[in-house]
Structure 1
Amino acid sequence: MKILYYDCFSGISGDMNLGALVDLGVDGEYLIKELSRLQLDSEYEIKIKKDTKKGITGTKVDVILGHQEHSHDEHEHHVHVHRTLKDIENIINGSSLNDVVKESSLKMFLRIAIAEAKVHGKSIDEVHFHEVGAIDSIVDIVGSAIALDYLKVDKIIASPVQVGGGFVKCAHGIIPVPAPATVEVLKGIPIKTGLVSFETTTPTGAVILAANVEEFTDKIDFSIEKIGYGLGSRELEIPNVLRVYLGKTENHAEIDEQYILETNIDDMNPEFYSYLEERLFEIGALDVYKTPIIMKKGRPAIKLSILVNKTKEKEVMEVIFRETTSIGIRKFKVEKIMLNRKFSTVKTKYGDITIKSSYYEGDLFKYKAEYEDCKKIAREKNIPIAKVYREVDIVMEKNANP
Structure 2
Amino acid sequence: MRVLVIDCQLAGIAGDMLVGSLLDLGVDIPRFIEVMEDSAKYLEGCDCLVVEVEDVVRRGFRAKKLHVKAKETGHHHLMGSKLRDAILNIADDFKLSENGKVLATRTIDSLIGAEAKVHGETPSEVHLHEAGSIDTVVDIIGTVYALDELGLTKDTKIYSTPVAVGGGIFKFSHGNVQSPAPATLEILRAKGFPLVGGPIDFELTTPTGAALLVNIVDEVTPFYPPIKPTRIGYGSGTKDFESMPNIVRLTLGEPTRSSLMVDEIYVLETNLDDATGEVIGYTIDRMLQGGARDISVIPMTTKKNRPGHILKVITDRENVHPLTMLLMEETGTLGVRMYPSKRHILTRDVTSMEVKLKGLEGIVQVKVSRNREGRVIQVKPEFEDVRSLAEKTGRTLREIMSLVTDQARREIASH
TM-score, structure 1 normalization? 0.71
CA shift digits 1:259-292 (9 cap, x unpaired) = 2214678889x89x87x889x76xxxxx445789
Q: Does 1:83 align with 2:79?
A: yes
Once the two structures are TM-superposed, the CA of residue 329 in structure 1 deviates from its matched residue by 1.5
Q: Secondary structure at the match of 2:176?
A: strand
Match of 1:209 among 187, 207, 213: 213
Once the two structures are TM-superposed, the CA of residue 215 in structure 1 deviates from its matched residue by 1.2
8 Å Cα contact 1:132-1:138 kept in structure 2: no
Q: Secondary structure at the match of 2:105?
A: helix
Question: Any residues of structure 2 matched to 1:270-289 within 5 Å, and which?
Answer: 287-288=292-293
Q: Which runs of 5 or more residues in structure 2 are unaligned?
A: 303-308, 350-366, 380-406
Corresponding residue for residue 317 of structure 1: 321
Corresponding residue for residue 60 of structure 2: 55
8 Å Cα contact 2:219-2:264 kept in structure 1: no
Q: Does 1:258 align with 2:265?
A: yes
Task: Return the letter of the residue paired with 1:329.
Answer: V
Once the two structures are TM-superposed, the CA of residue 334 in structure 1 deviates from its matched residue by 4.5
Q: Secondary structure at the match of 2:375?
A: strand
Corresponding residue for residue 7 of structure 1: 7
Q: Assess, with a 3 A threshold, how the Cα gap between structure 1 residues 223 and 85 changes in structure 2: closer, same or farther.
A: same
Distance 1:107 1:28 in 2: 25
CA shift digits 1:345-402 (9 cap, x unpaired) = xxxxxxxxxxx9964262432899xxxxxxxxxxxxxxxxxxxxxxxx99x969x758
Once the two structures are TM-superposed, the CA of residue 11 in structure 1 deviates from its matched residue by 0.5
Q: How many residues align structurally? A: 341
Corresponding residue for residue 104 of structure 1: 103
Task: Return the letter of the residue paired with 1:85.
Answer: S
CA shift digits 1:57-78 (9 cap, x unpaired) = 111110111189xxxxxxxxxx
Task: Return the letter of the residue paired with 2:2.
Answer: K
Task: Return the letter of the residue paired with 1:232.
Answer: G
Q: Does 1:233 align with 2:238?
A: yes
Task: Return the letter of the residue paired with 1:159.
Answer: T
Task: Return the letter of the residue paired with 2:232.
Answer: I
Distance 1:67 1:133 in 2: 14
Once the two structures are TM-superposed, the CA of residue 243 in structure 1 deviates from its matched residue by 0.9
320-329 or 24-33, larger mean C-alpha shift: 320-329
8 Å Cα contact 1:83-1:134 kept in structure 2: no
Distance 1:319 1:38 in 2: 39
Distance 1:332 1:11 in 2: 28
Task: Return the letter of the residue paired with 2:202.
Answer: F
Distance 2:340 2:411 in 1: 40
8 Å Cα contact 1:165-1:197 kept in structure 2: yes
Once the two structures are TM-superposed, the CA of residue 307 in structure 1 deviates from its matched residue by 1.4
Q: Which runs of 5 or more residues in structure 1 are unaligned?
A: 69-78, 282-286, 343-355, 369-392
8 Å Cα contact 1:357-1:364 kept in structure 2: no
Corresponding residue for residue 383 of structure 2: none
Distance 1:134 1:324 in 2: 41
CA shift digits 1:267-324 (9 cap, x unpaired) = 89x89x87x889x76xxxxx44578999x9xxxx9x683413xxx37x7236733896
CA shift digits 1:218-274 (9 cap, x unpaired) = 221212221111011112121111111111113611233432214678889x89x87
8 Å Cα contact 1:34-1:146 kept in structure 2: no
- CA RMSD of the aligned region, Å? 4.2
Q: Secondary structure at the match of 1:234?
A: coil
Q: Assess, with a 3 A threshold, how the Cα gap between structure 1 residues 135 and 307 changes in structure 2: closer, same or farther.
A: same
Q: Assess, with a 3 A threshold, how the Cα gap between structure 1 residues 255 and 88 changes in structure 2: closer, same or farther.
A: closer
Corresponding residue for residue 76 of structure 1: none
Corresponding residue for residue 307 of structure 1: 315
8 Å Cα contact 2:87-2:137 kept in structure 1: no
Once the two structures are TM-superposed, the CA of residue 40 in structure 1 deviates from its matched residue by 3.5
TM-score, structure 2 normalization? 0.69
Corresponding residue for residue 377 of structure 1: none
Distance 1:288 1:260 in 2: 10
8 Å Cα contact 2:236-2:248 kept in structure 1: yes
Corresponding residue for residue 18 of structure 2: 17
Corresponding residue for residue 88 of structure 2: 92
Q: Does 1:191 align with 2:195?
A: yes
The structure with the largest alpha-carbon Rg is 2
Question: Any residues of structure 2 matched to 1:162-201 within 5 Å, and which?
Answer: 162-187=164-189, 188-201=192-205
